[in-house]
């Protein structure tokens, strides 16, 4: 797990260097939140395919065409089957995602309040059992796309989708497991 955190820190420093070294355009810092429909697919025998609705909180910086963002998704919970190897019985688990990404914004010529975007990032994924001391975690890449709509000089609505692909293992180092997740997000944010 330390290796994964160090890798995420290195990515943060690299992305921060890219933004500090470039010319700054109109934009600023933003924070926001909303709801996320999450679908998780895993070859872990206790998880398999799951769906849930959770929350999405995020903060980032936006320049003319580029942005960097840290997002946290949580809340989706689901039933699990018996665990392999250590044989815990059926339980429930909660799924959390931390995703650090870069976004490229597009500004169509004929519209002033609409900004489509695409993004890529690195995510940490945590699946924690409710009753037993058991968890599955991992890391991988994400790709995303969506559109921001300005409803006020400082307020925006965002609709978007994120695809995650990651490898995971459990607390007892069983694995690796192949996992994918998709999110459909509807959020609001405030630009400072």
Which of the residue ranges 1-5, 51-55, 89-93, 129-133 would you say has the lowest mean pLDDT?
1-5
Domain interval for residue 112: 2-191
- 41 alpha-carbon distance from chain centroid: 15
Instruction: Show Cβ contacts of residue 97 under 8 Å, excluding neighbours closer than 6 positions.
Output: 38, 71, 72, 73, 74, 123, 124, 125, 126, 164, 181, 183
Overall domain count for the chain? 1
What are the pLDDT digits (tens) for 60-93? 998 878 999 999 999 889 999 998 878 889 999 9
Backbone angles phi, psi at 59, to 5 degrees: -145, 150
pLDDT score at 113 = 84
* CATH number, residue 25: 2.40.160.20
Residue 109 scores a pLDDT above 80: no
What are the pLDDT digits (tens) for 23-57? 333 478 999 999 999 999 999 999 989 999 999 99
Residue 22 scores a pLDDT above 50: no
Check if the beta carbon of residue 169 is closer than 8 Å to that of residue 176. Answer: yes
């Amino acid at each position: 797990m330390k290796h994964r955190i160090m890798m995420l820190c290195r990515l943060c420093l690299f992305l921060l260097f890219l933004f500090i070294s470039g010319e700054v355009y109109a934009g600023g810092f933003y924070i926001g939140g909303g709801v996320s429909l999450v679908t998780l697919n895993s070859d872990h025998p206790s998880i398999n395919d799951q769906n849930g609705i959770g929350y999405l909180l995020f903060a980032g910086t936006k320049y003319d065409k580029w942005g960097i963002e840290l997002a946290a998704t949580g809340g989706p919970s689901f039933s699990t089957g018996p665990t392999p190897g250590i044989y815990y019985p059926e339980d429930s688990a909660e799924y959390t995602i931390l995703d650090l990404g870069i976004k490229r914004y597009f500004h169509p010529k004929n519209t002033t309040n609409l900004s489509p975007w695409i993004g890529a990032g690195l995510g940490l994924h945590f699946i924690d059992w409710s009753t037993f001391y058991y968890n599955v975690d991992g890391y991988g890449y994400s790709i995303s796309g969506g559109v921001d709509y300005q409803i006020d000089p400082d307020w925006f609505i965002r609709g978007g989708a994120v695809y995650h692909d990651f490898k995971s293992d459990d607390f007892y180092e069983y694995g690796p497991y192949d996992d994918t997740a998709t999110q459909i997000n509807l959020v609001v944010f405030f630009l400072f």
